[in-house]
Each structure stands twice: as structure tokens, then as C-alpha cells.
Structure 1
């Protein structure tokens, strides 16, 4: 069983602000919203907001200027330009690249996805499942889940690959905005269907990356469960010690 511990609120808020710096919402040289504005916007306490800002200042994303407030510095020079998996999944064009849309339909929501989407257990949600290949070898199985109420007025129920990404499609059709992503990593033994699609022998585990994409209020818009054969993965990260 994989035990998942959610990051502290101040860390999640810092990640959200960092994402807004990276996407240009908070441009370098501009002033970050005041503490009061951040408290109201995110519904978090002042100590949480203060701690998140302190973390971003420590890591070089923000700086304080006397008499002017907190200023955006931008991406610190020492931060590696990593292609985060969640961003890659949300930007994937279903009609391009190697791979196939292997299933589209309503399914009983998996327990860990129900929790992330905020829907009742055993509710049915729409799933789009994409098998990604590299030189003819399956390397990823991406199962993306959407709450039923978000599907109306979109082409998500179509078994034809979308021209563009699910994120772009939803933002255009539903007039919503994806704001931030949380990723949870665990290891598990896949069920027989998933193992067959990935070409895995019995007993070989998979690395599961649960990608929870939310709007600014924290409401999940899409949850994607990315399965990667664990015997073909190696995780590495380099970071500063403060």
C-alpha cells in the first residue's frame, strides 16, 4: 500500500506562486499581490502566506524592496529547467506523436482519483486512456479522468484523438483556467489489463505518477494517472542545501 502525505499548505501556496511566475502571470520586476490580497485569493491564513513568501525569497524567486514591497525576480539562475511530467501530460497533443488512444468511456472512479477529484467513491467519471510508445515499445500508460459535470459541451467523450491537448480543449470550451499541478508518486503492481498494455511480465511493478491539475480555487479539473514500467525508470534530482 502506498501512503501519500500532502505537502504543507505554505509549500503548496509557494508552488502555486512559483507556477504563476513561470507562466508570466507574475512577471519579473512587478510587485506580488499584498499579503492581504493573497489571504483573500487563496483562503489561507496570514502565517501561511508569510511563510510561503519567505520560502520563495529564500530560494531567489522573490525579493523585498524597502518602501516598494515584494518584487518578482523570476526563475533563479541555479534552478534547473526540468520538464515536469504534469506539464508535459497536460500539453500532450493526442493527435500527434507515437501512441494510441486505447479507451474512452465512463468508468467507476478509482479510490485515489475520487479523493483528488472530490467525487464520491464508486461514482462514474470519464476516462481517456492513452498508450505512449517509443520505437514501437510501450513506455507510458496515461489514464486521464474528468468529472462528469465538466464534460458537457466538450469533445472529451469522442473516441477520436483530440487535435491539441485536453487542457487547451477544456480552457477553450469551458472558459476555465488551469492554475497549478500537484504530483504524487507511488509504486504498485499493475492490474492485468495495464500490465498487458505495457508489455510487462507478472509481478513487475509500475511507477505511478498521479497528476492533479486544478484551477486557482483548488478545484481539480483533470486527474491523470501515469504508469511507467518501474524496471525502466531512474529518478535523479539535484538541489541546493540551505
Structure 2
């Protein structure tokens, strides 16, 4: 049966207008003691006819329709609001940070204002927000975003490069911005036990991060063997199905308790 995807004209505008978007959260744990130190906000669409659908089924239409900045603003506000709620209800059991992805189209805008607005309206302290920069952003886009990012970093917001190793501009950009961390792409983590080159790349990126005094997080950790290998290499943080899938806010709160 042919899958019918949302169109650019009806996707995000309709979902936002009808309150159909949902946020799920994947825990990010400290490898040393498995403590949940952060969560990554992941958007889903509760479609009225097709049920819960994942980003791969609607983000292309959002890009085509020019709606990514709208989506990123929605995610920013909801993620900040949810972390405030967790901190209020769980106290010290709540994760310290929430990570929010910023798409390349958003990075091409003056995005500092919606970030600061989300923090102000929700009451989340800036140091509890981490922005992940899309690997699809080219060097020109990242350079254009530099002043906005620097202003947010000065306020206390953290910034990390997502899916490190997949883009051609990552290394050049590391010297241009006061980043807080990098995230190693899940494809390298998936292959590191069987492919010596993947293992070497994970090791190289970890050493690079430590040399630059950056936090390093491995994405897509699915087995205890992968986690043990990452620990031997010196990776500090990890996320993936080995720890937890993407959880609703209620499920996350129950897990943290």
C-alpha cells in the first residue's frame, strides 16, 4: 500500500494550529554511573487519521514548506516548559539539561530572540538549555549563526555539534565558536565493534573533544558491549535504546523516580 505523506501546505501549520505535535524525551546518561544528566527533545505528530508519526514522515514537507523555524520555536518552548515542570515535581531527580535541535533553516534566521523568549516565558534558567546544531548546516550557515550563538552562550545556553563526523564543516567550525560539546553520530557507534575504522573514528573524536575540553556524547548506544567499548575509549555521556527509547513526559518522570 502506498504511504500518503503530509504535504508542505498542510503539515506543520495544521499540526501546530490543532495542537497535534507531541514531544518525547530520550535520556542522556553519564557513562560512569548511568545517571540521567540530560534529555533530548524529539518531536512527533499525533495525526488525527494516521496516529503517531515520526519526523521522517513529515520533516521533508516542513523543510519544503519553509516551516522549520516554526517547528523549532514550538519545540523550544514546549521543551523548556516541560523541564521546568520536571524540576518542580522531581527536584534533584530531574535532568539538569534539555537538548533541543536547531535546524539549518532556523540557524539562518535571527533565532536568539525566540530562544530567549522561550526561556523568559517558561522561567527555565539559560544554563539548563542545550542547543544541538544540525549536521546539515553548511559552514556559511554556521558562520552566519555565530553572533546569535555567541550571544546565547554568553547568557549561559550550551551549544553542541550534533552527529559529529558526518559533515564536512564540523572540524573547521570547532575553532570558531565556544562550543560545550559534540555528539558522535550513531552510525560510527553501531559499527565500532566490527569495523576498526569506525572504532578509530569514535576514538579520534573522543580524543579531539577531550583536547578541546568539550563534553562528548555517543548517540545510538544499543548494547552493553558498545557501552563498555565507549567507556574504555573515554566517552563521557551516551544515549540510545540500551538505556531507554524516546519517552513521553509522564513516562520520563516515572523512570526518573
Instruction: Tell me the TM-score normalised to structure 2 length.
Output: 0.24
- Structure number with greater Rg is 1
Structure in which a larger fraction of residues adopt strand: 1
Structure in which a larger fraction of residues adopt helix: 2
